[in-house]
Structure 1
């Protein structure tokens, strides 16, 4: 399969490129970026690829040679460019969040179904090795019936982009679409779904802007999900000095704790088991997780599965973010969630 990247920023260069380079079943053949320096950066890493200033140039000159469009643009540009890629009958891999509201989401899902093309949001946390292993432990019954989970994700400000084009675009609401909820919140929700399957029924949330003077973006979010009888408490902050993530899942027979590359399994009446699983949550590129994304995307293309699980999850995330904002504006009141993931587990 041949792929073209649209937007050669941090995610493309540090997260996607390393995986493409090491595979034989998918080949990067073109890059689109309006910034000359970014096209030059792409050529330094892939000397034999084509580079284009605009998406139109790619489609006019090279469309027949492309199977997959990989959208790595800032959030606000996803909708327009995904539509153009689908209209050109390409499968689409799109960086998260897929879009910024449910109306856009349903429109893209309908177009993808009409075109019979795969639309695949890059929910890479589903393939983080520590999360995958913890899901295996839970599904194996190691901690009994899960009851409660606590996720604590501490960021050090908002992730910067490449210096050649608005490196602080994530601080601009018009470009990012939101603060920490649309960023780290999406990943935390994806982790919860990977660990427990199914969908939450309601949410209570509090969001704050504590350190972003003159900004409309929240840098702190604390929310609780009632997830099919389990309570999941998620705390997100971009106020830290270094990025850190901690996950803890408690069940009727024990608990699982995850911190970076370390999983601790505590089961009643047994010694604590330490499991080393190289994951590197503190590496913002997460290049070692991207192969799982590609594997699942290619499988969906092969089986003609136009409803890949991350696409269903993207709708769930948008519903949660919308209801979290409403809940926070109304004193943390519990809000019912409307979106239900069709599949309980990823295939």
Structure 2
């Protein structure tokens, strides 16, 4: 019989997408309690998803012995404290993006987790779209050839209504702008496909809304594998799209344009010759389609906990994504190319907040 893992969720906003993921994995997880200060969203979520208990007291979650996982879905400035306390209370942790407010906090959490037998999984659910997974499969089979260039566009719209939520648009509580909170999923896909970045040059600006943080950015990136990438982000695009395009020696992979599920099918994979196209088509014909998004990431996390293996998304993965953000902010402020990795001596290691 499959072991059900017992979950306590903190937050009632993005948490509702997590709850859908748990619902589709009902044989693997039992969500026992939802903790939120927002009763107007928290209580209806409990009713909709059949959660037996609602509370506004997070202290009770850390003290409970009937929870295996605490899932942190709160605003970014509270992620580190809640995650740290959950690990120290003997719970496994799932934490939404953006993970923390500095590389130093990621490194500290790595140290904390390393002294326990607990698992920590940051959220990067876009990785599990079928289109992106097909590209990963072609890379594993050696059918892509040498990588040359990646272009990623995160062009969305966010107006004043979005920033009416008090914690948004402020360095102290959102920790960053569109580069951190919106484009981070697409940029994680860059690391997921190609590995870590080696150098970043970036421009950033606040052009769309009257907020503290950036809402438009461009990044020029050199990857450690030798390929190049050009990334752009704006929250001022009246036509919302997300586009990923990967150019390899033997094929080009292109995502759909849907802004919030760009990892999903149908992607296109175009080879350089009819003969190679036939190999690609044959490889993809054998691809076994699985669940995607949160549903798949949670399914894999269950397997990691019960099988005592590495989580599907690791703290190092989150570090790679936050290194890209840190390097971009440093480049924007200094006008210089910024090498990676970001180590303890870097001026933004402990915080990129201005």
What TM-score range do you get, normalising by the shorter chain?
0.7 to 0.9
Separation in structure 1 between the aligned mates of residue 136 and residue 310 of structure 2, nearest angstrom: 25
Q: Per-residue deviation at 1:305?
A: 4.0
Classify the secondary structure of the residue corresponding to 1:65. coil
* Contact 1:93–1:122, Cα closer than 8 Å, also in 2: yes
Aligned to 2:331: 327
Once the two structures are superposed, the pairs formed by residues 94-243 of structure 1 within 5 Å of their partners are: 94-157=95-158, 167=165, 169-196=167-194, 198-213=195-210, 215-227=211-223, 228-243=225-240
- Please report how far the alpha carbon of residue 170 of structure 1 lies from its aligned counterpart in structure 2 after TM superposition: 2.6
Q: Give 3-state SS (helix, strand or coil) of 1:134's partner.
A: helix
Q: Which region of structure 1 is more displaced relative to structure 2, 101-110 or 39-48?
A: 39-48
Q: Mean Cα displacement is larger for which, 147-156 or 125-134? A: 125-134
* Correspondent of 1:313 among 303, 313, 317: 317
Q: Deviations over 1:38-93 (max 9, x none)?
A: 23212221345111111113344xx1110000000010110111111112110000
Q: Aligned pairs, how many?
A: 320
Cα distance in 2, alignment partners of residues 122 and 145 from structure 1: 29
Provide the rounded CA distance (Å) in 2 between the counterparts of 1:47 and 1:149. Answer: 43
Are the aligned partners of 1:130 and 1:258 in contact in 2 as well (CA < 8 Å)?
yes
Aligned-pair CA distance for 1:308: 5.6
2:49 aligned with 1:46: yes
Distance apart, 1:309 and its partner CA: 4.0
1:262 is aligned to 2:249 = no
Q: Distance in 2 between matches of 1:229 and 1:208?
A: 28
Match of 1:284 in 2: none
**Structure 2 counterpart SS, 1:89:** coil
TM-superposition CA deviations, 1:137-163 (whole Å, max 9, x none): 2333433221111111111117978x9
Stretches of structure 1 that go unaligned for 5 or more consecutive residues are 277-286, 341-347
- Please name the residue that 1:55 is paired with: 58
Change (3 A) 1:81 1:252: same
Aligned to 2:262: none
* TM-score normalised by structure 1 residue count: 0.84
Pairwise CA RMSD of aligned residues? Answer: 2.6
Contact 1:171 1:217 in 2 (8 A): yes
Q: Is the contact between residue 118 and residue 308 of structure 1 (CA under 8 Å) also seen in structure 2?
A: no
**In the alignment, structure 1 residue 8 sits paired with structure 2 residue 12:** yes
Partner of 2:79: 78
Is contact 1:117–1:306 with CA below 8 Å preserved after alignment? no
Q: What's 1:294 paired with?
A: 298
Alignment equivalent of 2:20, drawn from 18, 21, 34: 18
Partners of 1:307 and 1:12 in 2: CA distance: 20
**How has the CA–CA distance of structure 1 residues 317 and 160 changed in structure 2, closer, same or farther, with 3 Å as cutoff?**
farther
How far apart, CA to CA, are the structure 1 residues paired with 2:328 and 2:146? Answer: 27
The Cα of 1:3 is off from its aligned counterpart by: 0.4
- If the length of structure 2 is used for normalisation, what is the TM-score? 0.83
Segments of 5+ residues of structure 2 without an aligned counterpart are 259-264, 286-290, 344-354
